[in-house]
Structure 1
Amino acid sequence: MLNTDDTIILIIDIQEKLVNMLEKDTVSASAAKLLKAAKIFDMPVIITEQYPKGLGTTLESLKQEAPESTVFFEKTAFSALRSDGFKELLSGYNRKNVLICGIEGHICVYQTAIDLLEEGYQVEVLRDITASRKDFELNTGIEKMKQAGTKITSLEVVLFELLKSSKHPNFKEIQGLIK
């Protein structure tokens, strides 16, 4: 079961030019809720940007919702872990669970999730905040991640898992995010 003190949020490449190919509103709205929850729970967040010179930076709406401590990490490798300095950055948080989501599910999210598993992390993919241009490609990537040992989850499942009880001090705030 996920806990706020041993979990980090990793958002992969939800950038201007990539999002324009997808259902932008669904992915960006759910990612914004995840970032709001990260603030409420005081959880660390890393947001990667794949070649921002060509693909643009993270959506402005997400930058505005990101906690102040969020690290924005530029990369050119499809897997974040194959980018110089990323493994060290991630290990510095001393978290064993990684919640991952983003674009494209069958490329950068998939390769990062597999590399995280190989490094010994517990990985959960937020299915409702992960997208690809083609459904078939996304479904294939999700299936391969699942076969490799990642857990497939959703934003609402994660939020209530982190709360554990309606007696949690942040229950009403979190409940307000999903209504």
Structure 2
Amino acid sequence: MAAARLGWPRVGSSVLFLCDLQERFRDTIVAFPQIVAVAARMLQGCRILGVPALVTEQRPDVLGPTVPELGAQDLPRVPKTAFSMAGAAAPLLGDPNLRHVLLCGIEAQACVLQTALDLLERGLDVHVVADAVSSRSQAERALALSRMRQAGAYLSTCESVLLLLLRDAAHPKFKQILPMIKDPPPDTGLILGGPMGVLGGP
């Protein structure tokens, strides 16, 4: 009998994808500052735990560079025209140890969704950090999250993913991660449920 897929990310087999958190989106994306703040917290936690990260930029000549408050200035920014990050991530996706992708960024219904579908098709576990994902409208955001969940992605939060990676309060890095958990995350206006049961139901 095959083991159930539990969606339990592990440090040695995970990578963080940061999708297109660029300047031109600053004034159009719902809760953009808060989304970036949560993604920055996710990146900081992954740095502490030794989880590698990939940063992409969608047509940076048009949409500008990655915003500085993400804190990714030391990371390469991979330009792309495809909506999915999979092509830009080819070197990482070739790692036979990779099992889990932690996914943050914008826009939910475009680049994030297509990245998730591409990764799921390759047999990877996709953990969508829902409080670090947004769109220009809450409807697009909510329905895209629902679509990813239907396809088999795991919807989670920054705090939950970090705790899943830690697994134990005795972890040697726990005290470094603890302030990120004790400090409440910014409110990103995430819709939980609603008349369509967007994040609930089958």
Fold match (TM-score > 0.5): yes
Listed as ranges, the gaps of 5+ residues in structure 1 are none
* Structure ranking higher in helix proportion: 1
After superposition, the C-alpha distances for 1:24-82 in whole angstroms (9 at most, x for unaligned) are: 221111111111111100110001100000001111122xx3385x342110111122x
Counterpart contact for 2:11–2:49, Cα < 8 Å: yes
1:140 pairs, out of 140, 143, 147, with 143
Match of residue 10 from structure 2: 3
- C-alpha separation in 2, matches of 1:86 and 1:2: 18
Aligned pairs (5 A) from 1:57-68: 57-62=65-70, 65-66=71-72, 68=74
Whether 1:31 and 2:36 are equivalent positions in the alignment is no
2:125 to 122, 127, 133: 122
In the other structure, the counterpart of 1:72 is 77
Residue 30 of structure 1 contacts residue 129 of structure 1 at CA under 8 Å; is this kept in 2?
yes
Q: Does 1:19 align with 2:22?
A: no
Structure 2 contact 21–105 (Cα < 8 Å) conserved = yes
Aligned to 1:44: 52
CA offset at residue 19 of structure 1? 2.8
TM-score (norm 1): 0.91
Partner of residue 163, structure 1: 166
In the alignment, the residues of structure 1 paired with residue 26 and residue 117 of structure 2 have an alpha-carbon distance, to the nearest angstrom, of 23
CA distance in 2, matches of 1:94, 1:61: 31
Question: Aligned equivalents of 2:52 and 2:76: distance in 1?
Answer: 9
TM-score, normalising length: structure 2: 0.81
Aligned residues between the structures: 174
Shift, 1:103, TM fit: 0.5
Give yes or no for contact 1:39–1:67 (8 Å, CA) kept in 2: no
The percent of aligned pairs where both chains have the same amino acid is 36
Structure 1 counterpart of 2:114, from 107, 111, 116? 111
Question: Contact 1:16–1:58 (CA<8 Å) still a contact in 2?
Answer: yes
Opposite residue 94 of structure 2, the aligned amino acid is: S
Q: Which whole-Å deviations, capped at 9, do the CAs of 1:76-118 have from their partners, x for residues lacking one? A: 111122x4x5323432473110001100011100001001001
2:34, 2:96 → 1: CA distance?
A: 29
Runs (4+) of structure 1 moved beyond 3 Å?
A: none
CA distance in 2, matches of 1:80, 1:25: 22
Which of 1 and 2 has greater Rg?
Answer: 2
Is the Cα–Cα contact under 8 Å of residues 36 and 66 in structure 1 kept in the other structure? no
Q: Separation in 2 of the partners of 1:104 and 1:141?
A: 9
User: C-alpha separation between the residues in 2 aligned to 1:93 and 1:48?
Assistant: 22
Over 3 Å counting, the alpha-carbon distance change for 1:40 and 1:121 in structure 2 is same
